[in-house]
Structure 1
């Protein structure tokens, strides 16, 4: 399987035309169930103070100006034109795995690149956290190509090039680092296989989703939920290989997968988070664009 390079990720810019992340119906709308996240929308910037008129929101009265001038004044706000969009790339060594078409790590890179271009072309500022190994890289939100290209370069450099053990704490470390950087109304896109999902992950996602529009992209390979075919196979990591029998291991394999899926489904339903499953057999250029062309819902 060919690992993505920078040229391939840059070329995904062409696929990003006519796609958007701002549908009133949540983007990535192939949800587990019918739940969807509350739309946080973009943030607001203060614009000016003017005399209060009937119908203005009383919560926006500027009491200091009102006291100074002797007449009620209200604050006016305008919608921020550039919303921060954060990519959280849980690029741990365990993603160097794939039985069809591409590795899960390659699926993450291609999905992140396409989403990054969509955000930039939609006028948003792109930020990213790239974790999964000892070094967590943070890119603060920047507009246009200035925000996208450094992130793509870092993704290519950080992708695993050989099998390795999953990093169970990598996603939590990224979410902990992200929390103090977030502005209310930010969009957070978490790309992970959620192999390290635990109580801390749930608490972090719950906290982030209170202030931001948070959406989860789940990276999956078919072999993970079906188990091995009949026959004997050598499995493991270099230096730690053992034989597995497909038929006798399948039941325990599928039970473990079902437990992970159940916990993730329960979490997304409880927190009202959109969840999309991205599978390695399907090219990103086919799987994501239909989900980013969802028609807007009217208010």
Structure 2
């Protein structure tokens, strides 16, 4: 009798601490610019800097940092002073809802999301990092120092999410329960689907006080059908087929996917500082090092 590995141990599904530790070898190499910004959202402070104070302009100050509104109101030039972002608190919210446990090729979106979370944590290793896992329950893990406890938490919550248990609360409700310190940056890793009204409202509220970076993960099958073949699908009790051989169906499928992507893009751009997208059909290391993140 041939023994088969448990589904959780399958190489396309399993997520181990060793995998997340190995990400350090390449996550900190090269400038952040290697990961291309898919789109820049609302205007805010200079990337890589965080606002410190406002004072009267002095010779030698950066002209681009002059606050023109305050200057016009007070009748003399004032400049905004910034400090390096390495001291900025970083809150990372990872969506491990059932929708993230899908993948048509080499991995689940949830696993790619965990690897991305680990890469971002390694990149900002010296920051005060707080990890929030939106899964079966909402778990908040603050950490300043060694990242191993956060990486262990990623593995644990990812494994729990494989059960695809219905969530007790929405992503908007999880956001509403968070209290970020002044000046903290919020990074969200989630699905690519359009946001509901409650989530848009929460992002708008957070965007008044914090920079928001949003990473969306989309699977190739959610963008386009294979060139040929039929795929069985089920929605609730209804079953059917995605038939790429049917004339016109693949084209309609692609147009519907593009419409959803545009809708998500239009919703988020006014609400976030940076908007990225990852392809679930490609390894994270390749996208990170080659700047392969595509824009919507």
Q: CA deviation at 1:6?
A: 0.9
- 2:141 aligned with 1:139, yes or no? yes
Query: What is the TM-score of this pair, normalised by structure 2?
Result: 0.72
Residue 177 of structure 2: SS of its match in structure 1?
Answer: helix
- 2:12 aligned with 1:11, yes or no? no
Distance 1:124 1:176, change over 3 A: same
- Match for residue 125 of structure 1? 128
Report if the CA contact (8 A) 1:83-1:125 is conserved: yes
- Match for residue 210 of structure 1? 208
Q: What is the rounded CA distance, in whole Å, between the counterparts of 1:168 and 1:256 in structure 2? A: 30
Q: What is the rounded CA distance, in whole Å, between the counterparts of 1:258 and 1:54 in structure 2? A: 48
Of 85-94 and 259-268, more deviation after overlay is shown by 259-268
- 2:45 aligned with 1:39, yes or no? yes
Q: Hey, which of these two has a bigger chunk of helix by percent?
A: 1
Of 228-237 and 211-220, more deviation after overlay is shown by 228-237
Alignment match of 2:221 (pick from 223, 229, 233): 223
Matched length: 252
Q: What is the rounded CA distance, in whole Å, between the counterparts of 1:110 and 1:212 in structure 2? A: 24
- Match for residue 171 of structure 2? 171
Report if the CA contact (8 A) 1:98-1:280 is conserved: yes
- Match for residue 271 of structure 2? 271
Query: What is the TM-score of this pair, normalised by structure 1?
Result: 0.71
Matches within 5 A, 1:3-152: 3-19=14-30, 28-32=35-39, 35=41, 37-39=43-45, 41-42=49-50, 44=52, 79=83, 82-120=87-125, 123-133=126-136, 135-140=137-142, 142-145=143-146, 148-152=147-151
Q: What is the rounded CA distance, in whole Å, between the counterparts of 1:290 and 1:168 in structure 2? A: 38
Q: Which runs of 5+ in 1 are unaligned?
A: 46-51, 56-76, 293-299
RMSD: 3.5
Distance 1:37 1:8, change over 3 A: farther
